A and B are shown apart, each in its own frame.
Chain A
């Protein structure tokens, strides 16, 4: 158990509304990531963070913003949700060591109507 909690686990919202997903970790890891999972695409990186207030874009960052004001929390915000953002969102942390594996949360399923 890597101590990652995502909330909410399920959310249904309407087009144009803002949505924030939260990722919380208990083990003080420096690197945190947000991925989205879609059929036929596997997982794709949205944004990542390498420390408090240090974030950068991933492969599919358009329409998303992130914030990390505390080590333990990494927030993903959809300012104005669109139907194309219907997906399952996974938070991940990079644990210590040089081998590069990530540990994932259980996912947040978002449906935008």
Chain B
């Protein structure tokens, strides 16, 4: 079946620090992989995606590479800002059923302090 295992938080970093949030997955077939971000009081926003092995998704300084050999999709940013404080969710697309839904990790809360 499909599942996503995500690094537990919370994560607290100083501004300009390097960020890594680990994400590994289990899936049959060839899912697409996603990172979503949720700011306080808001819904989830798509941060980046990758649709096949070795693809790199990137947006707003964040990057993640689809690694099929390690079934991973780790999120990285070289220099975080206070405005990056949010909850980050790793997700994969359902490639087994007709639902076309997403399976989510449990989320990682990031707090960036000045």
A contact set with B: CB distance below 8 Å: 31, 33, 40-45, 48, 50, 56, 58, 90, 94, 99-107
Is B102 part of the contact surface with A, judged by Cβ < 8 Å? Answer: yes
Contact assessment for B49 and A43 in the assembled complex, using a CB-CB cutoff below 8 Å: no
- Rounded to whole angstroms, the CA-CA distance of A58 and B99 in the bound complex is 9
Name the interface residues of B33-72: CB closer than 8 Å to any CB of A: 34, 36, 42-46, 49, 51
Residues from chain A with Cβ under 8 Å of B49 in the complex: 99, 101
Contacting pair B43 A90 (CB below 8 A):
yes
Are A100 and B99 neighbours in the complex by a CB distance under 8 Å? no
30 contacts between A and B (CB under 8 A): A33-B101, A40-B106, A42-B89, A42-B104, A42-B105, A42-B106, A42-B107, A43-B89, A43-B102, A45-B101, A48-B99, A50-B98, A50-B100, A58-B99, A94-B100, A99-B49, A99-B93, A100-B31, A100-B51, A100-B93, A100-B94, A100-B100, A100-B102, A101-B32, A101-B49, A104-B36, A104-B43, A104-B44, A106-B42, A107-B42
| A41 contacts B106, C-beta separation under 8 Å | yes
